[in-house]
A and B are shown apart, each in its own frame.
Chain A
Amino acid sequence: MLHRGMVKLIIGIMMLSYATNLFIFLIARITRGVPAIIGQTEEKLIPPYADPIPQALILTAIVIGFGIQAFAIVLIRKVYKVTGTSDMGMLNSSEKVD
């Protein structure tokens, strides 16, 4: 995200949100090959199992992240069209004291 190119900014944003999603995924203490399903003869879940709630959270976060990325991509395209540059360092007309 620290790169001055706008496209790389978007890639940075994507990587960052993927990393966050993975982090939440790991918080669920994932297990291998054991689904979090209560069997017919059981009263409650028997460990070891992976907590399903973080996976639901990630699903929401992915959708939101997708929306924001789509908006950001359209935005940088428009910025490129209007300003004719993809260098973030050149985009400071809104901060100048005039």
Chain B
Amino acid sequence: MNIAIVLTITIPLFSAIAMLAAWNRTRLQVVIGGISTLSYLASTIWLLVVVKVNGIQLLNVGNWPKGFGIMLVADPMSSLYLVLCAFMALMAYWYALSYIKSKTSLSLFLPVFFSLIFGLSGTFLAGDLFNLYVWFEVMLVSSFVLFTIGANRQQLEGSLKYVAINVLSSTFFLVGIGLIYGLTGHLNMAYIAKTLPLVSNQQLPSIAATFFFISFGIKAAIFPLFFWLPATYHTAPIGLTALVVAMLTKVGIYALTRFFTIVYPLQGTFLQTIMLILAALTMVIGVLGAAAQVDFRKILSFHIVSQIGYMVMGLAIYTPLAISGALFFVVHNVLVKTNLFFIAGSVYRISGSYKLKELGGVIQQAPWLALLFAISAFSLTGIPPLSGFWGKYLLARSGFEEGSSLVVGVTAISLMVSLLTLFSMTKIWNEVFWKPNPAGEQSKLTLVSLMKTQPGMMLSILTISLLVLAISFAPESLINWCNDSISFILERNGYIDSVIGYKN
């Protein structure tokens, strides 16, 4: 029995159930939520410490004979993702409490929010492909509901496409699982990794891997599978979907990294080249799409797509430095991007619009908000010494070190994309913060008055900004952790042997 793993799964599950039981008693729900988000964060940090001290942690659910039952595996990479997820859940919870005004929405939001966290933590712990599929569905159904709460026209239209594309993605995933099972007779990733090289027809694993690539690619929003993202992310109120926006595409990246290192090493396969080219296209098209937009949240949504390109590029270069750079980039991106979305929501609260045309003068009105935006925007662009710089530095360095002309070309493209990102951020800065407010002069809001009107929102924005600054000025321990977790995964035998050699 591994208590830390059990807790990270059960805390969100029982909170979701408790939330349903406390239906319509908002104050009780808020208290339960506060306790469980904090204890969830504590349990994930505990798991991280246990993994750091004792190495990989395993839990054989139900004590079935090895290789048959479901196994939960916490290696350094998944424990890092879990802490990130728990931290973002806490932030999103604070933000949502002060963002959502209607009691009915809040009552509806809280149970679904916790079942989303439940799905997310399961996804990061699953050691078995079919189990991963089930966790994906838990997470997706919760996100469907979060996107449709409120049910205005745009939200419904966006989520219909979102549902359809995700059903397609799940189907591809299932077909891939079926193929892999037919070839190896296993569902556990470590066992598959062991038996897959023994398959006589080596074309078939490639076909299965392509199915997985398409499925995870849809989740991660890789070109040309990203169109659902800019159609949905800006429709729902940001308070409701903050956690989805923060984590969902990164789950795709997590699954890609897990599958293409442990189960089916990407090195030297035909998918590696395809992935590199798609990464470059994702970066370029995401950032160009953003340049055409004139809505605060739509610009940010397209930028998510563009940033996903960097992470896929890291995976596709497939050197230890590149993949750990990509992992670092995921952490940085989740924090910074969510913070920008939060600030967009906060600006919306002040001025009542997301359209760049109707916004303006926020630097006069709320200088603190402008400062916090500047920190995150600079970090997203990659201006030293902020966190984005370290992420991009790691990726660029690994790309140039690898040295083949395709990789160097893609890396050069990624540096150009940074410039275009700067262009978009300047556009937001000019339109939202710098130019005079089209509605005339507004009364000035100090940090204290902002804290009074939107306490949870400002608190979460401030906390994330502080964490971004901390990572920017002291990135070493995070980079080391990323390096360790990726070298553990790339070595493969450590993972495979500890899963196969596990004793109940």
Contact = CB atoms under 8 A, between A and B. Distances in A.
A16 interface: yes
A79 B181 contact: no
Interface of B: 130, 133-134, 137, 141, 144-145, 148, 151-161, 163-164, 167-168, 170-171, 174-175, 177-179, 181-182, 185, 187, 230-232, 234-235, 292-295, 298, 355
Label chain A's interface by main secondary structure.
helix
Contacts of A61: 133, 174
A11 interface: no
Place the interface of chain A in its size category. Answer: 35 or more
B432 to A, nearest CB: 16
Interface stretch (A30-38, A41-49, A65-73): A65-73
Interface string A72-91: 10011011001100001001
A82 B151 CA distance: 9
A79 B157 CA distance: 7
Contacts of B178: 20, 23-24, 27, 54, 57
A63 B379 CA distance: 44
A75 to B, nearest CB: 6
5 contacts: A60-B134, A68-B170, A71-B141, A71-B145, A91-B161
Nearest to A80: B156
A57 B130 contact: yes
Contacts of A24: 174, 177-178, 181
A86 B188 CA distance: 43
A89 B170 CA distance: 24
Nearest to A54: B181
Given A1-B164, A72-B163, A82-B153, A57 B137 contact: no
Contacts of A20: 171, 174-175, 178
Contacts of A97: 292-295, 298
Nearest to B153: A82
A75 B163 contact: yes
A67 B142 CA distance: 12
A78 B185 CA distance: 43
Contact of B151 (A72, A78, A91, A98): A78
